Structure 1
Amino acid sequence: MSIRMSNVNNEAMKKINLSLVLNAIWENEPISRRDLAKLTGLTPSSITNIIKQLMRDGVLIETGVGESNGGRKPVMLHINGQSGYIIGIELTFYHITGIMVDMRAKKVGKLVEDTRLKDGKEAVIGRIIDVIDKLINDVGIKREKVLGIGISAPGPYDHERGVLINPPNFPGWHNVPIVDIIQSKFNIPTYLEKETQAAALAEWWFGGAKNCDSLFAISINKVGLGGGMIINGEVYHGFFDGAGDLGHMIIDMDGVQCTCGSYGCLEAMATGLYIQHYVVSEIKRGRKSSIYKSGSDADDIEIDAIFEAANSGDPLCMEALDKAAYNLGIGIGNIINVCSPDVIVIGGEIPALYPQYVQKAVITVHGRAYPGYNKDVRILPATFGQEMGAIGAISLVFHNIFKILP
Structure 2
Amino acid sequence: MLNHSHFSVKKQIYDRIAYLGVVSKADLIKHFSIASSSMTRLLEDMLEQKLILISGHGTSTGGRKPILFQTNPHYRYLLGLEISRISSSLGLFDMHLNQLSVVKWEMDRQLSPERLVEFVLTETKKMLHRHQISHKQILGLGIGAVGPLDTKKGIILHPEYFPSYSWSNVPICAMLEKELNIPTKLDNGANTALLAEHWALRKETCEHMLYVHAGVNIRSSIMSGGQILRGVADTEGAIGQMIIQLGGRKLKDKGNYGSLEAYVSVPSLVERVQSQLKIGRDSTLSGFPPESINFTSLVIALKQNDTLVREVFLETASYLGVGLANLINTVHPEYVIISGAIVNADSVVYDTAIQVARKNIYHYPSCYDPIFTPGVLREEGVLTGAALQILQAWEE
Matches of 1:347 and 1:384, distance apart in 2: 10
Question: Is the CA contact (8 Å cut-off) linking 2:244 and 2:323 kept in structure 1?
Answer: yes
Q: For the residues of structure 1 that align with 2:46 and 2:269, how far apart are their CA atoms?
A: 52
Q: Paired residue for 2:385?
A: 392
d(CA) in 2 for partners of 1:244, 1:299? 27
| Mapping of residues 316-395 of structure 1, within 5 Å | 316-368=308-360, 370=362, 372=364, 376-395=369-388
Give the CA deviation at 1:247.
1.9
The alpha-carbon distance between structure 1 residues 337 and 59, as it changes in their structure 2 partners (threshold 3 A), is: same
RMSD: 2.5
Distance 2:59 2:344 in 1: 43
Partner residue in 2 for 1:230: 223
* Partner of residue 17, structure 1: 9
Which shows bigger deviation, 12-21 or 365-374? 365-374
Per the TM alignment, residue 79 of structure 1 is displaced from its structure 2 partner at its CA by 1.5
The correspondence of residues 296-307 of structure 1 with structure 2, limited to 5 A, is 296-307=288-299
1:27 to 7, 15, 19: 19
Partner Cα distance (1:92, 1:209) in 2? 30
Cα 1:129–1:324 change in 2 (3 A) is farther
Residues 269-288 of structure 1: matches in 2 within 5 Å?
269-288=263-282
SS of alignment partner, residue 281 of structure 2: coil
Match of 2:199 in 1: 205
- Specify whether residues 66 and 259 from structure 1 end up closer, same or farther in structure 2 by C-alpha distance, changes over 3 A only: farther
Tell me how far 1:106 sits from its aligned partner: 1.5
> CA contact under 8 A between 2:217 and 2:237: conserved in structure 1?
no
2:28 aligned counterpart, secondary structure:
helix
Counterpart check, 1:189 vs 2:183: yes
Distance 1:35 1:78 in 2: 13
| Conserved 8 A contact 1:227-1:244 | yes
Give the CA deviation at 1:359: 1.3
Tell me if the contact between 2:92 and 2:99 (Cα under 8 Å) persists in the aligned partners: yes
SS across alignment from 1:81? coil
Which residue of the partner structure matches residue 152 of structure 2? 160
1:151 corresponds, among 115, 125, 143, to: 143
Distance 1:264 1:210 in 2: 37
Structure 1, gaps ≥5 residues long: 1-9
**For 1:376, what is the secondary structure of its paired residue?**
coil
Unaligned runs of 5+ in 2: none
Counterpart Cα distance in 1 of 2:214 and 2:173 = 25
Change in Cα spacing, 1:138 to 1:264, as seen in structure 2 (3 Å) is farther
C-alpha separation in 2, matches of 1:329 and 1:248? 15
Partner of 2:57: 65
The alignment partner of 2:167 has SS state of coil
Q: Does 345-354 or 259-268 show the bigger shift?
A: 259-268
Which shows bigger deviation, 280-289 or 255-264? 255-264
1:132 equivalenced with 2:142 (yes/no): no
How many percent of aligned residue pairs carry the same amino acid? 25
Residue 267 (structure 1) aligned with residue 254 (structure 2):
no
What SS does structure 2 have at the residue aligned with 1:346?
A: strand
The aligned amino acid for 1:80 is N
Q: After TM superposition, give the deviation of residue 55 of structure 1 in Å.
A: 1.8
Task: State how far apart, in whole Å, the 2-side matches of 1:51 and 1:138 are.
Answer: 32
Taking a change above 3 Å as real, the CA distance of residues 138 and 220 of structure 1, as seen in their structure-2 partners, is: farther
Q: Deviation per CA, 1:339-358, whole angstroms, max 9, x where unpaired?
A: 33332211122223323222
Q: With the length of structure 1 as denominator, give the TM-score of the two structures.
A: 0.88
Deviation at 1:246, TM superposition (A): 0.6
Q: CA deviation at 1:35?
A: 2.9
State the alpha-carbon separation in 2 of the partners of residues 41 and 396 from structure 1.
27
SS at match of 2:276: helix
In structure 1, the residue matched to 2:248 is: 254
Aligned match of 1:175: 169
TM-score normalised by the chain length of structure 2 = 0.90
What's the offset of the Cα at 1:227? 0.5
User: For 1:301 and 1:140, how far apart are their aligned partners in 2?
Assistant: 47
Contact in 2 for aligned 1:352/1:386 (Cα 8 Å): no
Equivalent AA in structure 1 for residue 389 of structure 2: L
Aligned partner of 2:39 among 35, 40, 47? 47
Q: Distance in 2 between matches of 1:329 and 1:209?
A: 28
In structure 1, give the amino acid aligned to 2:147.
G
- The DSSP-based 3-state class of the residue aligned with 1:332 is helix
